[in-house]
């Protein structure tokens, strides 16, 4: 709705009658606006490659940006695939790449014995599983008052996912070990690139410090099922603790490199640049995630609540560290009470669900949550302003206003 003009015209448009507009002599002017109104009124359909997802659990921003509704997050730790967000920087590859999964090839370089390996070979090297928060760097961008360009994600460009595959360090060992002087691990996506443009400006290729290899997987399963096309099947690089963009889907190249890739998505994209500035290589890259939490229930759109006992429910994670503690406030951060964790601990890269049981008499409340990680880092009160709208972990921005009747 934000994109509609705030005017009497908007009221006409919301009334939805094209003929009334024509009668008012606005027909030609409003043709585009009418189409836009229709798009706002009817939820966008899921794109074909994600058509198996649950439309009721999702907000479809575009065919390549789909987020989980805040009210759809459940309490079973792992986010079901049908509810998990999707973000593609390029059109998803053709589903034909899943026809023979085991034949998928990944070129591994920057090791003593570089070569191309098939998924079949990778499966013979071993398997591990890791539960990890997958979160887009721009999750929470929608709460930046500066309205940075990019998808205005709220909380739902994130989920907790169980990945299974071979640890990257075992792959490197099988190829003689990482070559000397390699400071980065660089993954390259397998999308077909548009013709007529410099590949470096569009390719999805990211470098993370080589130390990230300690926890990284080449994964072929998600939540116990073969990896879907939407989430990077047949093979995906998984970098626990780092923002989503670093976990390269349809990975076709894994390189240990002396330098960061000069692909634009690395050199200029996903940089923490001052408001109003463009990204450039001198600025910090969006990589490791920080401590963050938010409340999912009551959700902001839950409407007036009935006075009485309420379970305040949410998720909390520490990024690189385990989450150690969550506090909840009913009054916008003046007073805090400890929440309890719900369900099993799936390791330091997973999120934990939390609950606070409280009695809410009639009134207005600002429900906030604030997490602390195992190293003592506390979720920040305020967002760190930046042009791209990245890394929003502000507990103020994620607070939920509710009315109890
Ligand atoms: N090959 C490839 N990998 C990619 C992307 C992409 O566009 N292509 N998008 C990245 C971004 S920005 C995010 S947030 C995550 C999204 O993962 P998901 O779609 O499985 O939720 O994938 C990352 N890996
Ligand atoms: Mo992302």
- Count, residues in the chain: 405
The number of the ligand nearest the C-alpha atom of 85 reads 1
Strand partners, 323: 373
302 Cα to the center of ligand 2, angstroms = 27
325 Cα to the center of ligand 2, angstroms = 27
- pLDDT at position 40 is 56
Q: Whose CA is nearest to atom 15 of ligand 1?
A: 244
The number of the ligand nearest the C-alpha atom of 133 reads 1
- pLDDT at position 266 is 97
The contacts of residue 218 (CB under 8 Å, 6+ apart) are 106, 122, 165, 166, 168, 171, 235, 236, 237, 238, 251, 254
- pLDDT at position 43 is 86
CA-CA distance, 49 to 62, in Å (whole number)? 13
Q: Mind listing the pLDDT tens digit of every residue in the chain (405 residues)?
A: 333 333 333 333 333 333 333 333 333 333 334 444 444 557 899 999 999 999 999 999 999 999 999 999 999 999 999 999 999 999 999 999 999 999 999 999 999 999 999 999 999 999 999 999 999 999 999 999 999 999 999 999 999 999 999 999 999 999 999 999 999 999 999 999 999 999 999 999 999 999 999 999 999 999 999 999 999 999 999 999 999 999 999 999 999 999 999 999 999 999 999 999 999 999 999 999 999 999 999 998 888 899 999 999 999 999 999 999 999 999 999 999 999 999 999 999 999 999 999 999 999 999 999 999 999 999 999 999 999 999 999 999 999 999 999
Q: Whose CA is nearest to atom 10 of ligand 1?
A: 245
CA trace torsion 206, 209, 215, 219 (10° rounding): 20
The greatest distance separating any two alpha carbons of the chain, rounded to the nearest whole angstrom, comes to: 76
250 Cα to the center of ligand 1, angstroms = 9
- pLDDT at position 41 is 57
Q: Counting atoms of ligand 1 from 1, which one is nearest the CA of 136?
A: 14
Q: Whose CA is nearest to atom 23 of ligand 1?
A: 245
208 Cα to the center of ligand 1, angstroms = 15
Helix, coil or strand: residue 302: coil
CB 359 within 8 Å of CB 312: no
Q: Whose CA is nearest to atom 18 of ligand 1?
A: 86
């Amino acid at each position: 709705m934000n994109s509609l003009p705030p005017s009497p015209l908007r009221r006409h448009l919301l009334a939805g009658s094209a003929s009334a507009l024509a009668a008012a002599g606005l027909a030609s002017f409003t043709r585009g606006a009418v189409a836009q109104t229709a798009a706002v009124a009817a939820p966008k359909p899921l794109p074909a490659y994600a058509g198996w997802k649950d439309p009721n659990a999702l907000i479809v921003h575009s065919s390549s940006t789909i987020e989980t509704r805040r009210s759809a997050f459940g309490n079973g730790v792992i986010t079901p695939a049908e509810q998990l967000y999707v973000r593609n920087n390029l059109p998803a590859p053709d589903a034909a790449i899943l026809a023979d999964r085991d034949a998928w090839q990944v070129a591994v370089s920057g090791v003593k014995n570089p070569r191309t390996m098939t998924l079949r070979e990778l499966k013979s090297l071993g398997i591990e599983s890791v539960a990890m928060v997958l979160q887009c760097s721009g999750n929470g961008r929608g709460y930046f008052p500066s309205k940075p360009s990019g998808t205005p994600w709220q909380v739902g460009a994130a989920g907790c996912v169980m990945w299974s595959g071979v640890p990257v360090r075992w792959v490197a060992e099988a190829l003689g070990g990482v070559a000397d002087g390699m400071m980065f691990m660089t993954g390259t996506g397998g999308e077909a690139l548009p013709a007529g443009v410099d590949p470096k400006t569009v390719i999805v290729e990211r470098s993370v410090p080589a130390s990230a290899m300690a926890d990284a997987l080449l994964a072929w399963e998600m939540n116990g099922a073969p990896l879907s096309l939407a989430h990077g099947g047949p093979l995906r690089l998984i970098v626990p603790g780092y923002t989503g963009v670093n976990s390269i889907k349809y990975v076709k190249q894994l390189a240990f490199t002396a330098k960061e890739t000069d692909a634009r998505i690395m050199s200029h994209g996903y940089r923490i640049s001052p408001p109003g500035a463009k990204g450039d290589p001198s600025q910090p890259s969006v990589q490791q995630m920080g401590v963050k939490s938010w409340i999912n229930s009551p959700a902001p759109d839950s409407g007036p609540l009935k006075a009485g006992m309420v379970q305040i429910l949410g998720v909390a994670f520490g990024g690189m560290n385990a989450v150690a503690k969550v506090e909840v406030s009913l009054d916008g951060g003046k007073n805090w009470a400890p929440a309890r964790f719900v369900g099993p601990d799936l390791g330091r890269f997973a999120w934990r669900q939390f609950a606070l049981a409280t009695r809410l008499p009639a009134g207005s409340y600002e429900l906030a949550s604030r997490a602390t990680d195992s190293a003592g880092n506390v979720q920040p009160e305020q967002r760190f302003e930046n042009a791209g709208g990245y890394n929003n972990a502000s507990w103020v921005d994620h607070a939920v206003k509710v009315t109890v009747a």
